[in-house]
C-alpha cells in the first residue's frame, strides 16, 4: 500500500533468472503484489520468482506484449507499475513515478530515460534506434513524447480495459503510450528516470525489433 493505494508490479520475463532475483530483492516494501509473467523460460526464472514471493503466471503464447496482456488484467490493485526483469529500471523510481502520478492527479506516467543520466547504460546504436522511433511517433501523433520505447510505467488500473491493445510483441510498449495519449479521458505525462545496463543476456534483436516497431507505428496510425 502506498499513500493509501494498493500497487501491483507486473514484470514480463523470458529467461531472466539472474535479473529477476535482483529486481524482486530490491522491490519496495509498499508494493502489494509482484506478478511475473513467464513465457516458457528455459532457465529458473519462475522458481526464483516464486521463491522470493512473487506470483508467477505462466503464459504459453510468446511475446513481451502477450505477457503484459495477461499480466496487467490479473492485477487487482488501484495502481500498476511495470518494469523489465533485467535490473535496467531502478526500483527506487517506482516511488517517484507513483508520487508524480498522485501529486498531479494523472492517470498514466511513463518513465522517460532520455537524456540518459549515464550514457553507458544503453548501447549507442540502441540510443539511435530509440531516437528514430520516438521521432516517427512524434511525427505521426503530434505529441511531445521523448521516449516511445520505455518499459517502465505507472498507471491507474481502471484505465487499461479501454485500451485497444493489438500487439503481442515489443511494439506493445509504444502502442500502450499511443492508446494513453489518444484517449481524451487519460491524463498522460512522461517523467525522467534513471536507467542501467541490463543484467543477463541480451535478447533484443536491434534491427529486427527496430524495424518491426517502426512498421507497427505506421500500421497503427493509418490502418487501425
Ligand X SMILES: Nc1nc2c(ncn2[C@@H]2O[C@H](COP(=O)(O)OP(=O)(O)OP(=O)(O)O)[C@@H](O)[C@H]2O)c(=O)[nH]1
Rg of the chain taking only CA atoms, in angstroms: 16
Name beta bridge partners: 55. Answer: 35
Please choose which of Mg ion, ligand X, none residue 93 contacts, taking the beta carbon within 5 to 8 angstroms, the exact cut-off set by kind.
Answer: none
Work out whether 14 is an interface residue with ligand X (CB under 6 A): yes
Give the residue with the Cβ less far from ligand X, 100 or 198: 198
Cis peptide leading into residue 217 (ω within 30°): no
Hey, is 45 helix, strand or coil? helix
Q: Is 88 in the site for ligand X (CB under 6 A)?
A: yes
Nearest residue to Mg ion on Cβ basis: 84
Closest CB to ligand X among 88 and 106? 88
Q: Are strands 188-192 and 79-82 parallel, antiparallel or unpaired?
A: unpaired
Q: Is there binding between residue 18 and Mg ion (CB under 5 A)?
A: no
- Interface with Mg ion in residues 191-210 (CB under 5 A): 198
Task: Give the three cell numbers for residue 76.
Answer: 487487482
Q: Give the list of residues 6+ apart from residue 188 with CB closer than 8 angstroms, or none.
A: 106, 107, 108, 109, 110, 177, 180, 181
Whole-angstrom distance, CA of residue 187 vs CA of residue 201: 36
Enclosing H/E stretch for 135: helix 124-141
84 scored as a contact of Mg ion (CB under 5 A): yes
Size of the site for Mg ion (CB under 5 A): 4
Taking residues 116 to 135 in sequence order and writing x for each that binds ligand X by CB under 6 A, - otherwise, the string is --------------------
Answer yes or no whether residue 39 interacts with ligand X by CB under 6 A: yes
Q: Which of residues 53-72 bind ligand X (CB under 6 A)?
A: 62-64, 67
As measured in angstroms, the least distance from the Cβ of 14 to ligand X is 4
Least Cα distance to 40 among 12, 66, 59 occurs for: 59
Residues 137-156 within binding reach of ligand X (CB under 6 A): 151
User: Where along the sequence are the contacts to Mg ion (CB under 5 A)?
Assistant: 84, 86, 88, 198
Residues lying near ligand X in the complex (CB under 6 A): 12-14, 16, 37-39, 62-64, 67, 84-86, 88, 151, 198, 202-204
Amino acid at each position: 500500500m502506498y499513500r493509501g493505494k494498493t500497487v501491483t508490479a507486473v514484470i514480463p520475463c523470458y529467461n531472466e533468472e539472474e535479473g529477476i532475483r535482483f529486481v524482486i530483492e530490491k522491490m519496495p516494501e509498499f508494493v502489494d503484489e509482484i506478478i511475473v509473467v513467464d513465457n516458457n523460460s528455459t532457465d529458473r526464472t519462475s522458481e526464483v520468482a516464486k521463491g522470493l514471493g512473487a506470483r508467477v503466471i505462466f503464459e504459453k503464447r510468446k511475446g513481451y506484449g502477450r505477457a503484459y496482456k495477461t499480466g496487467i488484467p490479473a492485477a487487482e490493485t488501484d495502481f500498476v507499475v511495470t518494469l523489465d526483469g533485467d535490473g535496467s529500471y531502478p526500483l527506487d523510481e517506482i516511488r517517484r513515478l507513483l508520487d508524480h502520478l498522485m501529486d498531479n492527479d494523472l492517470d498514466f506516467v511513463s518513465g522517460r530515460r532520455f537524456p540518459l543520466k549515464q550514457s553507458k547504460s544503453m548501447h549507442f546504436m540502441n540510443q539511435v534506434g530509440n531516437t528514430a522511433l520516438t521521432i516517427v511517433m512524434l511525427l505521426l501523433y503530434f505529441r511531445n513524447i521523448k521516449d516511445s520505447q520505455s518499459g517502465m510505467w505507472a498507471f491507474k488500473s481502471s484505465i487499461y480495459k479501454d485500451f485497444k491493445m493489438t500487439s503481442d510483441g515489443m511494439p506493445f510498449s509504444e502502442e500502450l503510450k499511443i492508446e494513453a495519449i489518444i484517449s481524451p479521458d487519460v491524463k498522460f505525462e512522461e517523467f525522467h528516470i534513471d536507467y542501467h545496463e541490463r543484467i543477463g543476456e541480451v535478447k533484443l534483436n536491434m534491427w529486427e525489433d527496430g524495424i518491426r516497431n517502426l512498421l507497427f507505428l505506421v500500421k497503427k496510425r493509418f490502418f487501425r
